[in-house]
Amino acid sequence: MALSREQVAIRVAQELQDGYYVNLGIGIPTLVANYVPEGIEVMLQSENGLLGMGAYPSKEQVDADMINAGKETVTAATGAAIFNSADSFAMIRGGHVDLTVLGAFEVDQHGNIASWMIPKKLIKGMGGAMDLVAGAKNIIVTMTHASKHGDSKLLESCTLPLTGVNCVKKIVTDLAVLEVKDGAFHLLERAPGVSVDEIISKTAGKLLVDGDVPEMAL
């Protein structure tokens, strides 16, 4: 079966490494903060000016003044720093973010990402996405493999306005983990109970499958 939002976040959290500075985008990526593996320390950054973002607060911990870029209340980890958004974007543009995790409407087999605009629909705007995909050392996209209408979001070429070009390295969907390289999607893992054939049928771009594909360990 397809993964839940929480399960996608758990799988993405496995990509975190000790000492990483990580930016988490709005949506599924913010859930990653709840699943940082034991034994490692990472500093989670929110582009509105918080370095050291913790897990979501309990009712007793809620502080209306402590929010992330999506205006959700968050907690601050030990050693956190709070600063203005200009300094936050200087950190991003200076290449000091090791990994950014963000959602997308579409990703194509060349690593292009469309994540900020659907023509003729009211969208809040790009936010920090364009800076993040240009400045972060590594980029992971989280999204559903197909739209609610069944259309693939993993394409030969993006159809929507691009956020970044040739920048996406890895994708974690509700069906699979894929690597983007050499002009193709490479299937690394599949969700428990999901067949390779289903993933192939829901991937519009070039997909390469090499041997047996293991199930994700969640």
The set of residues, in sequence order, having a beta carbon less than 8 Å from that of 119 and lying 6+ positions away, is 160, 161
Rounded CA gap, 201 and 207, in Å? Answer: 10
Strand partners, 76: 53
Q: Is 47 a catalytic residue?
A: yes
**Residue 212 has which token pair?**
């047996």
Q: Is 22:42 a contact under the CB 8 Å cutoff?
A: yes
Identified catalytic residue from 41, 47, 60, 198: 47
What percent of the residues of the chain are helix, what percent strand, and what percent coil, each to the nearest 5? 20, 30, 55
* Residue closest to 111 by CA, chosen among 27, 26, 199, 170: 170
Rounded CA gap, 207 and 25, in Å? Answer: 26
Q: Is 66:46 a contact under the CB 8 Å cutoff?
A: no
Active site residues: 47
